[in-house]
Structure 1
Amino acid sequence: MFARLLNLLEKGPRRLLWTVGLLALVALAGGGSQMTSMTMGVDDYDDAESTAVRVLDDVEKATGANLEQGYVVLVELDEPVDPASGERPEVLRRAVELIEKRPEVADVVDYVSAKNPAMVRKDGKSTYFVATVSGFAPGDAVTKAVTKTQDALDADKQLREHVTLGGPTTSNVEASAISSEDLGKAEALAFPVLLILLLFIFRGLIAALIPLGGALVSIAVALGVLGAVMTVVDLSVFALNLVMALGIGLSIDFSLLIISRFREELRAGHSTHEAIARTLRTAGRTVLFSGLTVATALASLLVFPQRFLYTMGVAGIATSLGALLFALLGLPALLAVLGERVNKWAPKSWQRAQEPRTGSESGGRWYRFSHGVMRRPVSAALAASAVLLVLALPAFGIKFTGIDAASMPEDSDAGRVYTTLEKEFPGSLQSPVHLISKAPKHAGTELAAYSKELGKVDGVADVTPPRPIGDGMWETQVALKDAPLSTAAQDTLDAIEKVAAPYPTVPTGNTALYDAMMTSLGDRLPLALGLMSLTTLFILFAMTGSVVLPLKAVITNLLTLAATLGLLIFVFQDGHFAGALDFTSQGALQPTMLIILLAVALAMSTDYTVFLLSRIKEGVDNGLPDREAIATGLEKVGRTVTLAAVLFCIPLGALMLSRLIFIKQLGLGTAASVVIDATLVRALLVPSLMALFGQANWWAPGPLRRFHQRFLSGLQERDEPPTSQATPAAPAAVDSQESVTTAGKA
Structure 2
Amino acid sequence: MKHRENVTGFAARAAMWSARHRTLAIIGWIAFVVGVTVLSGQIGTREATDSDQGHGESGRATVLVEQAGFPVQPAGEMVIVQGADRDAAVADVTRSLTGRPEVGAVAEPLTSPDGQASLVTFTMTGDPDTAKERVGPLLDTVAGVQGRHPGVYVAQAGDASGSKLIGDSLDEGLSRLSMLSIPVTLGILLVAFGAVVAALLPVGLALTAIVAAIGLLAGASRLAPTVDTTAHVMLLVGLAVGVDYCLFYIRRERDERRNGADPHRALLIAAQTSGRSIWISGLTVIVAMAGMFFTMDATFTSFGMATILVVATAVLGSLTVLPALLSALGDRVDAIKIPGLYRRHSEGRAWRWVLRVVLAKPLISTVVAVGVLAALAAPALDLRTKGESIEDLSPKQPIVQTMVAISRAFPAEVVPAEVVVKAQTVRGPQFEAALADFRRAAAASKQLREPIEVRVNPAGTVAVVSVGLAGNGSDRTSERAVETLRTTVAPGAFGKLAGSTVAVTGDTAQGMDFNQRLTDSLPWVFGFVLGLAFLLLLVSFRSVVVAVTGVVLNLLSVAAAYGMLVFVFQYGNFESVLDFKSGGGITNWMPLFLFIILFGLSMDYHVFVLSRIREGHDRGLATKQAVSEGIGRTAGVITSAAMVMVAVFALFATLPLISTKELGVGLAAAVLLDATIIRAVLLPAVMALLGDKNWWLPRWLNWLPAVSHDLPPAPPTTPQPREDRELTPAL
Quickly name the TM-score band, shorter chain normalised. Answer: 0.7 to 0.9
**Match of 1:74, SS?**
strand
> Any residues of structure 2 matched to 1:659-738 within 5 Å, and which?
659-706=656-703, 708=704, 712-713=705-706, 715-721=707-713, 724-725=715-716
**Given that residues 428 and 480 in structure 1 are in contact (C-alpha distance below 8 angstroms), is that contact kept between their aligned partners in structure 2?**
yes
2:728 aligns with: none
| 2:344 matches 1:354 | yes
Question: Which amino acid letter does the alignment assign opposite residue 481 of structure 1?
Answer: A
Q: Deviations for 1:541-584, whole angstroms, at most 9, x for unmatched residues?
A: 12201111111111111111111101001100110010111111
**1 CA distance for matches of 2:124 and 2:480?**
26
1:127 aligns with: 119
**Given that residues 196 and 338 in structure 2 are in contact (C-alpha distance below 8 angstroms), is that contact kept between their aligned partners in structure 1?**
no
**2 CA distance for matches of 1:34 and 1:675?**
40
**Given that residues 168 and 404 in structure 1 are in contact (C-alpha distance below 8 angstroms), is that contact kept between their aligned partners in structure 2?**
no
**Match of 1:455, SS?**
helix
**2 CA distance for matches of 1:486 and 1:673?**
29
**Match of 2:411, SS?**
coil
1:392 aligns with: 377
Q: Deviations for 1:95-125, whole angstroms, at most 9, x for unmatched residues?
A: 6x8443xxxxxxx78347xxxx44699356x
**Given that residues 75 and 128 in structure 2 are in contact (C-alpha distance below 8 angstroms), is that contact kept between their aligned partners in structure 1?**
no
**2 CA distance for matches of 1:421 and 1:615?**
60
**Given that residues 562 and 666 in structure 2 are in contact (C-alpha distance below 8 angstroms), is that contact kept between their aligned partners in structure 1?**
yes
**Given that residues 561 and 598 in structure 1 are in contact (C-alpha distance below 8 angstroms), is that contact kept between their aligned partners in structure 2?**
yes
Q: Deviations for 1:2-44, whole angstroms, at most 9, x for unmatched residues?
A: 4542452353322211211221222233335667x56487x39
| 2:649 matches 1:644 | no
Once the two structures are TM-superposed, the CA of residue 528 in structure 1 deviates from its matched residue by 1.3
**Given that residues 48 and 225 in structure 2 are in contact (C-alpha distance below 8 angstroms), is that contact kept between their aligned partners in structure 1?**
no
Q: Deviations for 1:493-524, whole angstroms, at most 9, x for unmatched residues?
A: 22333435133332111011111111111111
Q: 1:543 aligns with which of 540, 545, 551?
A: 540
**1 CA distance for matches of 2:477 and 2:510?**
15
1:430 aligns with: 414
1:738 aligns with: none
**Given that residues 573 and 587 in structure 1 are in contact (C-alpha distance below 8 angstroms), is that contact kept between their aligned partners in structure 2?**
yes
The 1:397–1:49 alpha-carbon spacing in structure 2 relative to 1, beyond 3 Å, is closer
Q: 2:30 aligns with which of 21, 25, 39?
A: 21
Once the two structures are TM-superposed, the CA of residue 487 in structure 1 deviates from its matched residue by 2.7
| 2:56 matches 1:50 | yes
**2 CA distance for matches of 1:60 and 1:457?**
30
The 1:492–1:195 alpha-carbon spacing in structure 2 relative to 1, beyond 3 Å, is same
| 2:476 matches 1:487 | yes
1:178 aligns with: 169
| 2:100 matches 1:91 | no
> Any residues of structure 2 matched to 1:8-87 within 5 Å, and which?
8-31=17-40, 37=45, 39=47, 43=50, 47-62=53-68, 64=70, 70-74=75-79, 80-81=86-87
1:144 aligns with: 130
Once the two structures are TM-superposed, the CA of residue 339 in structure 1 deviates from its matched residue by 1.0
Once the two structures are TM-superposed, the CA of residue 335 in structure 1 deviates from its matched residue by 0.8
**2 CA distance for matches of 1:327 and 1:210?**
10
Q: Deviations for 1:633-674, whole angstroms, at most 9, x for unmatched residues?
A: 011111211221111111111001111111100000000110
1:105 aligns with: none
Question: Which amino acid letter does the alignment assign opposite residue 626 of structure 1?
Answer: T
Cα RMSD (Å): 3.3
**Given that residues 572 and 665 in structure 1 are in contact (C-alpha distance below 8 angstroms), is that contact kept between their aligned partners in structure 2?**
yes
**2 CA distance for matches of 1:733 and 1:523?**
61
**Match of 1:374, SS?**
helix
2:400 aligns with: 415
The 1:65–1:82 alpha-carbon spacing in structure 2 relative to 1, beyond 3 Å, is farther
Once the two structures are TM-superposed, the CA of residue 695 in structure 1 deviates from its matched residue by 1.3
Q: Deviations for 1:717-738, whole angstroms, at most 9, x for unmatched residues?
A: 33115x745666578689xxxx
> Any residues of structure 2 matched to 1:146-295 within 5 Å, and which?
146-147=132-133, 149-150=134-135, 153=138, 166-168=157-159, 171-172=162-163, 174-295=165-286
Once the two structures are TM-superposed, the CA of residue 488 in structure 1 deviates from its matched residue by 2.5
**1 CA distance for matches of 2:633 and 2:288?**
27
Once the two structures are TM-superposed, the CA of residue 277 in structure 1 deviates from its matched residue by 0.9
The 1:185–1:161 alpha-carbon spacing in structure 2 relative to 1, beyond 3 Å, is farther
Question: Which amino acid letter does the alignment assign opposite residue 487 of structure 1?
Answer: R
Once the two structures are TM-superposed, the CA of residue 61 in structure 1 deviates from its matched residue by 3.4
Once the two structures are TM-superposed, the CA of residue 288 in structure 1 deviates from its matched residue by 1.1
Deviates more, 1:204-213 or 1:55-64: 55-64
1:452 aligns with: 440
| 2:458 matches 1:477 | no
**Given that residues 408 and 414 in structure 1 are in contact (C-alpha distance below 8 angstroms), is that contact kept between their aligned partners in structure 2?**
no
**1 CA distance for matches of 2:296 and 2:538?**
30
**Match of 1:429, SS?**
helix
**1 CA distance for matches of 2:249 and 2:410?**
60
**Given that residues 182 and 203 in structure 2 are in contact (C-alpha distance below 8 angstroms), is that contact kept between their aligned partners in structure 1?**
no
Q: Deviations for 1:457-499, whole angstroms, at most 9, x for unmatched residues?
A: 3443435266755634444322123221223311222233343
Structure 1 unaligned segments of length 5 or more: list them. 101-107, 135-140, 735-746
Once the two structures are TM-superposed, the CA of residue 249 in structure 1 deviates from its matched residue by 1.4
1:138 aligns with: none
Question: Which amino acid letter does the alignment assign opposite residue 548 of structure 2?
Answer: L
The 1:84–1:276 alpha-carbon spacing in structure 2 relative to 1, beyond 3 Å, is closer
**1 CA distance for matches of 2:81 and 2:46?**
35
Q: 1:402 aligns with which of 368, 382, 387?
A: 387
**2 CA distance for matches of 1:730 and 1:284?**
29
Structure 2 unaligned segments of length 5 or more: list them. 1-9, 147-153, 496-501, 726-731
The count of corresponding residues between Structure 1 and Structure 2 is 695
**Given that residues 80 and 155 in structure 2 are in contact (C-alpha distance below 8 angstroms), is that contact kept between their aligned partners in structure 1?**
yes
TM-score by length of 1: 0.85
> Any residues of structure 2 matched to 1:302-701 within 5 Å, and which?
302-347=293-338, 349-351=340-342, 353-355=343-345, 364-410=349-395, 415-423=400-408, 425-438=409-422, 441=428, 442-464=430-452, 471-500=460-489, 501-504=492-495, 505-701=502-698
